[in-house]
Amino acid sequence: MNKTFHVFVYGTLRQHEPNHYLLKKAKCLARQCWTYGVLYDTGFRYPAMVSGTKQRVYGELYEVNEDQLKRLDWLEGYEGEGMANEYDRIIQTVYTDSGTVQAYMYVYSPEKVTTLTEIKSGDWKCHKLSKE
pLDDT tens sequence across 15-30:
999 999 999 999 999 9
Contact indicator for 94, 35 with CB cutoff of 8 Å: yes
Biggest alpha carbon distance in the chain? Answer: 45
- Is the domain covering 4-131 a CATH 3.40.1550.20 domain? no
Over the stretch 34-68, which tens digit does the pLDDT of each residue have? 999 999 999 999 999 999 999 999 999 999 999 99
In this prediction, residue 131 carries a pLDDT of: 78
In this prediction, residue 57 carries a pLDDT of: 98
Amino acid at 39: L
Residues tagged active-site: 76
- Four-residue CA torsion sign, 90, 21, 56, 99: negative
pLDDT averaged over every residue in the chain = 96
